């Protein structure tokens, strides 16, 4: 019996989010791809998150085992790790926002 290699997933991922007026998580941000697909962007370490999303971007730490629950509430077509957010979505404190 031949087995497919298991996909290696980190135990947690930093997800870009939007905060409400009380600084609570309002929504997990997703990226609309050119083909219309929706992508969840996750980051395996905080320094990678900051490099890819900006140093002022809010984030939430999610257990990867719980991502199916997120997908049930806010569907997405694909999930990517450690890929830079589009520049217009990044928040930088050093320049007051991008």
**Are the CB atoms for 17 and 61 separated by under 8 Å?**
no
Beta-strand runs (E) in 1-98: 12-19, 25-28, 30-32, 38-42, 59-63, 78-81
| Out of 9-13, 37-41, 60-64, least confident range | 9-13
CA distance 45 to 30: 18
In tens, the pLDDT along 27-38 reads 999 999 999 999
> If pLDDT is split at 50, 70 and 90, which confidence band does 80 have?
very high
Its pTM stands at: 0.83
How far apart CA 37 and CA 2 sit, in angstroms, is 32
Residue 96's pLDDT is what?
Answer: 44
């Amino acid at each position: 019996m031949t087995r497919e290699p298991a996909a290696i997933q980190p135990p947690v991922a930093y997800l870009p989010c939007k905060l409400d007026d009380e600084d609570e998580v309002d929504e997990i941000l997703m990226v609309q791809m050119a083909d219309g697909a929706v992508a969840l962007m996750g980051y395996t370490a905080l320094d990678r998150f900051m490099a890819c999303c900006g140093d002022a971007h809010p984030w939430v730490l999610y257990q990867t085992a719980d991502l199916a629950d997120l997908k049930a509430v806010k569907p997405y077509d694909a999930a990517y790790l450690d890929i830079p957010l589009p520049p217009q979505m990044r928040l930088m404190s050093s320049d007051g926002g991008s």
